[in-house]
Chain A
Amino acid sequence: MATKKTTILNLPEEEYVHPGNRACAGCGLSIVYKTGLKALGRDSILVVPPSCLTVLQGLYPIAATQLPCLNVTFASTAAAATGVLAAMRAQKRPDVQVAAWAGDGGTSDIGLQALSGACERGEDFIFICYDNEAYMNTGVQRSGTTPQHVLTTTTPFTGKHQRKKDVPAIIAAHGIDYVATASAAYPLDFYDKVVKAKSIPGPKYIHVHTPCPAGWGFSPRYTVKIGRMAVETGLFDLYEREKGQFRLTGASEKMLDKKRKPVADYFATQNRFKGMDAEKIRVLQAEVDEKWAAYEKVAQGIC
Chain B
Amino acid sequence: MHIIEAGNVAAAMGVKLAGVQVVAAYPITPQTPLTEKLSELVDSREMDAQYIPVESEHSALSVCIAASSAGSRAFTATSANGLLYMNEQLHWAAGARLPIVMCVVNRGIGAPWTVWNDHQDAMSQRDTGWIQIYCCDHQQIIDTVIQAFAIAETVRAPVMVCYDGYILSHTYMPFDIPEQADVEKFLPAFTPDWALNPQCPANLNTVTLPEPRADVRGNTAPGYMEIRHNLHTDLRRTIDVTADTDAKFKDVFGRGGQPFIESYFCDDAEQVVVCMGSLSYQMRDVVDELRKEGVSVGVCGLRLYRPFPDRAVAEALSGRKNVFVFEKALSYGYEGPLFSDIKAALYGTENLPKIRNFILGLGGREIRTRALYEAVKTACSENQSKPHDPDFIGLKL
Stretch at the interface among B52-60, B145-153, B154-162, B292-300: B52-60
Question: Of the candidates B63, B201, B221, which one forms a contact with A83 in the assembled complex, judged by CB atoms under 8 Å apart?
Answer: B63
Range class of the A interface residue count = 35 or more
The winner among A44, A78, A84, A113 for most chain B CB atoms within 10 A is A84
Is there an interface contact between A83 and B53, defined as CB atoms closer than 8 Å? no
Q: Give the interface segment out of A50-58, A151-159, A164-172, A179-187.
A: A50-58
Q: Which of A44, A69, A87 contacts B204 (CB 8 A)?
A: A69
Q: Could you say which of B50, B66, B201 contacts A80, with CB atoms under 8 Å apart?
A: B66
**Contact in complex: A60, B209 (CB < 8 Å):** yes
Find out whether the CB atom of B89 lies under 8 angstroms from the CB atom of A73: yes
Within B27-57, the residues touching A (CB, 8 Å) are 49-50, 52-56
B55 touches A114 (CB 8 A): yes
Bits for B197-236, please: 1 = Cβ < 8 Å to A, else 0: 1101111111111000111100101000000000000000
Give the chain A neighbours of B221 by CB distance below 8 A: 60-61
Any B CB within 8 A of the CB of A299: no
A69 near B203 with CB under 8 A, answer yes
B70-78, B171-179, B313-321, B322-330 - the one binding chain A: B70-78
Q: A83 to B215, Cβ gap below 8 A? A: no
Is A47's CB within 8 Å of the partner chain B? Answer: yes
B141 within 8 A of A: no
- Given A82-B54, A86-B67, the answer on whether A73 and B62 have CB atoms closer than 8 Å is yes
Q: Which residues of A contact B203 (CB under 8 A)?
A: 57-58, 60, 63, 65, 68-69, 71
Decide if B64 is an interface residue (CB 8 Å cutoff).
yes
Per the bound structure, the CA–CA distance linking A85 and B119 in Å amounts to: 34
- B84 contacts A by Cβ under 8 Å: no
Residues of A within 8 A of B279 (CB): none
- A44 and B183 alpha carbons, distance in the complex (Å): 34
B355 within 8 A of A: no
Decide if B373 is an interface residue (CB 8 Å cutoff): no
In-complex Cβ contact of B63 among A60, A79, A91, A120 (8 A): A79
Specify which chain B residues have a CB less than 8 angstroms from the CB of A73 in the assembled complex: 62, 88-89, 92
Among A45, A116, A120, contact of B196 (Cβ-Cβ < 8 Å)? A45
Assess the B59–A117 pair: CB atoms within 8 A: yes
CB of A276 closer than 8 Å to a CB of B: no
Say yes or no: A59 contacts B22, CB within 8 Å.
Answer: no
Q: Distance in Å from the Cβ of A97 to the closest Cβ of chain B? A: 9
Verify if B117 is at the interface (C-beta below 8 Å from A): no
B59 touches A79 (CB 8 A): yes
Contact of A91 among B54, B71, B208 (CB under 8 A): B71
Q: Which residues of B contact A264 (CB under 8 A)?
A: none
Considering only residues 25-68 of chain A, those with a C-beta below 8 Å from chain B are: 42-45, 47, 54-55, 57-63, 65-68
A80-B209 in contact (CB<8A): no
Main secondary structure of the interface of B (DSSP, over half): mixed
A54 near B56: Cβ-Cβ < 8 Å: no
User: Are the CB atoms of A89 and B50 closer together than 8 Å?
Assistant: yes
Interface residue? A70 (CB, 8 A): yes
Chain A window 193-210, contacts with chain B (Cβ cutoff 8 Å), 1 for yes, 0 for no: 000000000000000000
A57 to chain B, nearest CB (A): 6
- A121-B53 CB under 8 A given contacts A60-B208, A70-B205, A90-B22: yes
Q: How far is the CA of A180 from the CA of B332 in the complex (A)?
A: 51
Cα separation A192 to B197 with both chains bound (whole Å) = 25
Smallest CB separation, B330 vs chain A (Å)? 29
Interface check A223, CB cutoff 8 A: no
Q: Which residues of A contact B66 (CB under 8 A)?
A: 47, 70, 72, 79-84, 86-87
Interfacial chain A residues near B70, Cβ < 8 Å: 45, 70, 83-84, 87-88, 91
Inter-chain contact A83/B62, CB cutoff 8 Å: yes
8 Å CB contact of A86 from B50, B89, B92, B216: B50
> In the assembled complex, which residues on chain B have CB atoms less than 8 Å from the CB atom of A54?
206-207
When A55-B207, A83-B24, A87-B22 are in contact, do A114 and B56 touch as well, CB less than 8 Å? yes
Q: Min CB distance, A17 to chain B, in Å? A: 12
Instruction: Judge whether B72 and A76 touch: CB under 8 Å.
Output: no
Partner of A75, one of B58, B214, B219: B58
Q: Are B50 and A76 in contact (CB under 8 A)?
A: no
Taken together as a complex, chains A and B put the C-alpha atoms of A246 and B71 apart, in Å, by 39
A45, A60, A69, A86: the one within 8 Å of B52 (CB): A86
Complex: A61 Cα to B205 Cα, angstroms: 10
On whether the beta carbons of A66 and B63 are closer than 8 Å, the reply is no
Q: Name the residue of chain A whose CB is nearest to the CB of B22.
A: A86
Q: How far is the CB of B293 from chain A (nearest CB, A)?
A: 55
Q: How far is the CA of A128 from the CA of B63 in the complex (A)?
A: 19
Say yes or no: A114 contacts B71, CB within 8 Å. no
B65 within 8 A of A: yes
Q: B106 at the A/B interface (Cβ < 8 Å)?
A: no
A116 touches B50 (CB 8 A): no
Q: CB-CB < 8 A to B88: which residues of A?
A: 73, 75
Q: Which of B56-115 contact A (CB under 8 A)?
A: 56, 58-60, 62-72, 74, 88-89, 92
User: With the chains together, A47 CA to B198 CA distance in Å?
Assistant: 13
Contacts of B204 in A (CB 8 A): 68-71
Given A67-B198, A82-B62, 10 further pairs, Cβ under 8 A: A63-B203, A69-B204, A70-B196, A71-B206, A72-B205, A82-B59, A82-B66, A83-B63, A84-B196, A91-B21
Pairs across A and B, CB under 8 Å, 12 listed: A42-B198, A55-B207, A60-B221, A61-B215, A68-B196, A68-B203, A72-B65, A75-B62, A82-B54, A83-B24, A83-B52, A87-B74
Give the interface of B toward A (CB within 8 A).
21-22, 24, 49-50, 52-56, 58-60, 62-72, 74, 88-89, 92, 196-198, 200-209, 213-216, 219, 221
The 8 closest A-B pairs by CB, nearest first: A83-B66, A117-B55, A87-B70, A79-B59, A76-B62, A79-B62, A61-B221, A63-B203
